[in-house]
Amino acid sequence: MADIEELEKLDKLKTKVLKYIMFKKRTEREIRRKFATVEDQDLLDDVIENLKEIGYIDDKDYVDRAVAEFMNLNNLSLKELKYKLQSKGVDAGTLEDYLYKHEDELQEYETNSAKNIILKKQNSMDEQALIQHLLKKGYKMDSIKQAIAIIEE
């Protein structure tokens, strides 16, 4: 009888976790935070491992999707992008691996983001103020210079 109760608990928790991750893709750490109050943490570990095995929880896939979404919706420096992913619980190794593999694409994105911000704010700020604004947001000086050069062409 205890086995049936355990299976029911497992199934109930798995359903809750699935509802949480189906609404929006989540990292393993976000799931652990959300379900930190679950009495049986071993049961939660089993659910997470099972969902990882079948592909519902995949931090590498999460990074791919999140970066694509950020790139389509926002103008961010690579530093801001990295911070957002770290705050979602993406481990440093997974993040560094992604940044290394997509270095050229991300550098181009940062330059274009800087260019968009400059174009948006150039009427209200002088060049030095714009540069300082972008540096404070985490943009690299190389990206800022490239963006200015593109605008001046």
**Tokens representing residue 98 in the block:** 């992604």
User: Distance between CA 14 and CA 86 in Å, rounded?
Assistant: 25
**Tokens representing residue 114 in the block:** 């800087």
pLDDT band at 9 (very low <50, low <70, confident <90, very high): confident
- The pLDDT of residue 2 is 59
User: Distance between CA 47 and CA 16 in Å, rounded?
Assistant: 10
| Cα dihedral 107, 109, 111, 114 sign | negative
106's enclosing H/E stretch is helix 103-121
Q: Is the pLDDT of residue 44 over 80?
A: yes
pLDDT in tens, 94-107: 999 999 999 999 99
- The pLDDT of residue 109 is 95
pLDDT higher at 153 or 131: 131
Q: Is the pLDDT of residue 1 over 60?
A: no
Q: Is the pLDDT of residue 3 over 90?
A: no
Across the chain, mean pLDDT equals 91
Q: Is the pLDDT of residue 61 over 60?
A: yes
pLDDT in tens, 122-137: 888 888 999 999 999 9
| C-beta of residue 118 within 8 angstroms of C-beta of residue 130 | yes
